[in-house]
Amino acid sequence: MARFTLPRDIYHGKGSIDVLKEIEGKKAIIVMGGGSMRRFGFLQKIEDNLKAAGLEVMVFDGVESDPSVETVMKGAEAMRSFEPDWIIGLGGGSPIDAAKAMWIFYEYPDFTFKEAIVPFGLPKLRKKAKFIAIASTSGTATEVTAFSVITDYAAKIKYPLADFNITPDIAIVDPDLAETMPQKLVAHTGMDAMTHAMEAYVSTIADNFTDPLALKAIEMVRDNIKKSYDGDKHARAEMHDAQCLAGMAFSNVSLGIVHSMAHKIGGVFHVPHGCANAIMLPSVIEFNAAVCGERYAKIAKMLNLEGENDKELTKSLVKLIRDLNKELNIPATFKEYGVDEAEFLANLAFMAENAVADACTVTNPRKVVPEEIEKIYKASFYGEEVDF
Ligand X SMILES: NC(=O)c1ccc[n+]([C@@H]2O[C@H](COP(=O)([O-])OP(=O)(O)OC[C@H]3O[C@@H](n4cnc5c(N)ncnc54)[C@H](O)[C@@H]3O)[C@@H](O)[C@H]2O)c1
* Residue ranges that bind ligand X, judged by CB under 6 A: 33-34, 36, 65-66, 91-94, 97, 136-137, 139-140, 142, 145, 147-149, 158, 177-178, 180-181, 185, 189, 192, 273-274
Residue number with CB closer to ligand X (316 or 363): 363
Residues 6+ apart with CB under 8 A from 108: 123
Q: Nearest CA to 214 among 222, 373, 291?
A: 222
Stretch that binds Fe ion, among 70-78, 113-121, 191-199, 359-367 (CB under 5 A): 191-199
For CA atoms 20, 161, 208, 299, give the dihedral sign. positive
Based on its alpha-carbon atoms, the radius of gyration of the chain, rounded to whole angstroms, reads 20
- Given the rule CB under 5 A, which of 23-31, 128-136, 188-196, 300-308 is the region that contacts Fe ion? 188-196
CA distances from 336 to 188, 271, 279, 363 (A): 16, 12, 10, 30
> In angstroms, what is the minimal distance from the CB of 190 to ligand X?
10
Which residues in 104-207 belong to E strands, given as ranges?
A: 130-135, 147-152, 157-162, 170-173
Q: Rounded to the nearest whole angstrom, what is the least distance from the CB of residue 209 to ligand X in the complex? A: 18
- Of the two residues 93 and 365, which places its CB atom closer to ligand X in the complex? 93
Print the SS3 string covering 42-106.
HHHHHHHHHHHCCCEEEEECCCCCCCEHHHHHHHHHHHHHHCCCEEEEEECHHHHHHHHHHHHHH
Query: Which of ligand X, Fe ion, none sits in contact with 97, Cβ below 5 to 8 A by type?
Result: ligand X
Largest CA distance in the chain: 63
Q: Judged by CB under 5 A, does residue 66 bind Fe ion? A: no
Interaction of residue 97 with Fe ion, rule CB under 5 A: no
Please check whether residue 201 is in contact with residue 245, taking contact to mean a CB–CB distance below 8 angstroms. no
How far apart are CB 142 and Fe ion at their closest, in Å?
9
Question: Residue number with the shortest CB distance to Fe ion?
Answer: 192
Residue 43 or 352: which CB sits closer to ligand X? 43
Distance CA 386, CA 115 (A): 37
Residue 66, binding choice from ligand X, Fe ion, none, Cβ under 5 to 8 Å by partner class: ligand X
**In Å, what is the CA distance from 114 to each residue of 11, 69, 104, 150, 152?**
34, 10, 12, 12, 10
Residue 145 contact among ligand X, Fe ion, none, beta carbon within 5 to 8 Å by kind: ligand X
- Which one of Fe ion, ligand X, none interacts with residue 89, CB within 5 to 8 A by kind? none
Q: How far is the CB of 77 from ligand X (least distance, A)?
A: 21
Q: What does 178 bind: Fe ion, ligand X, none (CB cut-off 5 to 8 Å by kind)?
A: ligand X
- Give the Cα separation of 246 and 241 in Å (integer): 9
Nearest distance, CB of residue 278 and Fe ion, angstroms: 10
Could you say whether residue 192 binds Fe ion (CB under 5 A)? yes
Asked if 79 and 127 count as a contact pair (C-beta separation under 8 A), the reply is: no
Number of residues that bind Fe ion (CB under 5 A): 1
Picking from 141, 47, 44, 60, the residue whose alpha carbon sits closest to that of residue 97 is 141
Comparing CB distances to ligand X, the nearer of 142 and 288 is: 142
358 binds Fe ion (CB under 5 A): no
CB-nearer residue toward ligand X: 249 or 313: 249
Nearest distance, CB of residue 26 and ligand X, angstroms = 27
Q: Name the 3-class secondary structure at 291.
A: helix
Residues that bind Fe ion (CB under 5 A): 192
